[in-house]
Structure 1
Amino acid sequence: MIRRLSSALLLSMGMLVGCGGSSSDSQAPAGPPPYPPQGSTWQWQLLGALNSEYDVFAYDIDLFNTAAETIASLQQQGRFVICYFSAGSYESYREDAGEFLDSELGNTLANFANERWLDTRSSNVRAIMRARMDLAAAKGCDAVEPDNVDGHINNTGFALTRENSINYSQFIAEYARSLGLYVGLKNNVGLAQTLEPYFDFAVNESCFRFNECARLAPFVDAEKAVFHVEYLSVAEVGSGELQRVCAQTEPLGFSTLVLPTALNDAYRFSCSEQ
């Protein structure tokens, strides 16, 4: 298991400055040198029986659906384990779904009928997310991938602002780090410059498709890993689209995969493992 130094230990070493609640002008929490290393190989699978046979540095898996024993087994193989959870949406099928208040549930996410946006300003929502990160630590995850933290640019049903999203992301990152967990910024490329100091790596979907890869330069410049996926069909891969993606992302140091949108290991193509 790979864990960062806890906030308490860093404080005792005089490495943390500032205190109090999160805000966009608060001091970024101290952390170790960039880790995981930039360019690390990885696999991302959230659905289906986990295929643990890939010889990669990191595995990104579902927090709720993955047993602690599976996480330990991956780590025994030398894998860095990232645990996925949604930090910004209600998922009706999660074991803690009943803990959210009706007033905290907003509009349905596009293409995800069982998910609704959350009011991330809510103290109850934040308490639930702390509990999720506590679960990640208890299961032995090395890192967390909190999804859906870009409510300010989506039709959530709430009047969430850019400042709200910054504050919430800082809250997530600071609490994860206090547990000794590494933490990744999921998508939210418009806030990459502001939030990079708070996050250890980035996880991005479809920056090539949306012509946004350059916006992750703050992570690249800080020598932090960018775990990147494009969703292409096997036919598109065969037509040369994989090569076009890799030609753009490899010079940036991205760890690029092409996967099915279901993230079920139906197929997998990697720029670095061709």
Structure 2
Amino acid sequence: MKHAAPKFMHIGKALRAAAIAMVCGFGICGGYSGSASATAKFNVGDRWDWQLKGPADLDRDVEMLTLNPRLVTADQLQGLHAQGVDTVCHVNAGTIAETNPGFFDLPPAVIGSPHKTRSNERYLDIRRLQMVVPVITQQIVACKNQGFTAIEPDGFDAYAKDSGFPLTAADTVRYATTLAHVAHGLGLGIAQKNVPELTEALMPHFDFAITESCFETSTCEQIAAYPKANKPAFNAEYTDADIDFAKACAEGARLNINMIRKDRPVTAPVIFCQAEF
């Protein structure tokens, strides 16, 4: 489903202040700067891999590795950092599962329809910032404490799904930007995950982009705004999609988007544009 790129008003000081207050509510606001992570050093052209379902294989010649936090230990993250690898923590942001911290702290009114392909997850009413953001912050704090250098908040596309709530693109921008302030307040980098149609509004607040199937869906040009602004963009095409991956690699090279190919469950096997592992 494609959406026209909407225009949004600048996210102002009040929203930033609200994000700081939420972080302070967890007793961790002392180091808040409002700027990007001091530890993550993402660069345009970095190689990456993405693993969400185990067992994980951490032996990768990459500069960035995005992981389900359940697949890795703090010691393993330390080892990756010693090798110069930035580590990105996958976080449920537009949805929540019972296994996520804070699920049972949420009132039923902000928990919506089940996700179409992940029935253990339910959509969140992201308009209710004061209720939802503190709960998602618990996941972000857990990522930081485990040793990740950045987060990948998934589910920003809930406004285009059957979430059970009348969510809009403007709601998504407001919510996503709030999470960006929270992540930066914790010294973490943060990715824009998908929603290429919102890149113009989100990019000033995010450090890099992670997308799925931009070649298949003809949305790579929108995400290319990141490398044009000297921020990296990473994309995964799926092995079950009927595409010419060599052409996807050529498109990635032209736009400075790092392309990989993964299976739909996002397990360890990966096809890079030059080699397969």
TM range (shorter): 0.7 to 0.9
Residue 65 to residue 125, structure 1, CA distance change in 2 (3 Å):
farther
% identity of equivalent residues: 26
Render the CA deviation track for 1:29-86: whole Å, top value 9, x for unaligned. Answer: 5448994101100111111122111111011011344322221121122211111111
In 1: Cα distance, 2:224 partner to 2:80 partner: 30
Q: Which runs of 4+ in 1 moved over 6 A?
A: none
Question: 1:245-256 alignment to 2 at 5 Å?
Answer: 245-256=248-259
What amino acid does structure 1 have at the position aligned with 2:115? L
Which deviations, in whole Å up to 9, do the C-alpha atoms of 1:82-132 show, x marking residues without a partner? 111111102233354323322111112222211111111222211111111
> Which stretch shows the higher mean deviation, 90-99 or 137-146?
90-99
Among 94, 111, 119, the residue aligned to 2:117: 111
- Residue 67, structure 1, aligned to residue 70, structure 2: no
Give the one of 187, 191, 202 matched to 1:184. Answer: 191
Which of 262, 266, 272 matches 2:265? Answer: 262
Q: CA RMSD in A?
A: 2.3
TM alignment of 1:110-129, pairs within 5 A: 110-122=116-128, 123-129=130-136
> How many residues are aligned here?
247
State which of 210, 213, 216 in structure 2 corresponds to 1:206: 213
Question: Aligned in 2, Cα 1:32/1:49: closer, same or farther, shift over 3 Å?
Answer: closer
Aligned twin of 1:7: none
TM-score, structure 1 as length reference: 0.83
Unpaired segments of 5 or more residues in structure 1? Answer: 1-17, 24-28
Taking the aligned partners of 1:21 and 1:154, their CA distance within structure 2 comes to 25
What amino acid maps onto 1:127 in structure 2? P
- Measure the CA separation in 2 of the matches of 1:31 and 1:145: 14
Matches within 5 A, 1:34-113: 35-113=41-119
The AA in structure 1 aligned to 2:15 is G
210, 220, 227: which is aligned to 2:227? 220
Per-residue deviation, 1:214: 0.9
The amino acid across from 2:55 in the alignment is A
**AA partner of residue 82 (structure 2):** Q
Which amino acid in 1 is paired with 2:271?
Answer: F
Q: Deviations over 1:1-29 (max 9, x none)?
A: xxxxxxxxxxxxxxxxx743249xxxxx5
Q: Distance in 1 between matches of 2:248 and 2:225?
A: 20
Instruction: Give, in whole Å, the separation in 1 of the partners of 2:35 and 2:123.
Output: 31
Rounded to whole Å, the distance in 2 between the matches of 1:255 and 1:272 is 11
In 2, Cα distance between equivalents of 1:68 and 1:31: 22
Deviates more, 1:35-44 or 1:96-105: 96-105
Q: SS of the counterpart of 2:120?
A: strand
Letter in 2 for 1:20: A
Q: 1-side partners of 2:36 and 2:183: how far apart?
A: 12
- Counterpart Cα distance in 1 of 2:41 and 2:226: 11
Distance between the aligned counterparts of 1:130 and 1:99, measured in 2?
13
Match of 1:229 among 233, 236, 242: 236
Task: Supply the distance in 1 between the matched residues of 2:120 and 2:105 (Cα, whole angstroms).
Answer: 16
Q: TM-score, normalised by structure 2?
A: 0.82
Mapping of residues 122-201 of structure 1, within 5 Å? 122=128, 123-201=130-208
Match of 2:246 among 201, 224, 243: 243
Counterpart CA distance in 2 for 1:270 and 1:87 is: 28
Q: CA distance change for structure 1 residues 127 and 121 in 2, over 3 Å: closer, same or farther?
A: same
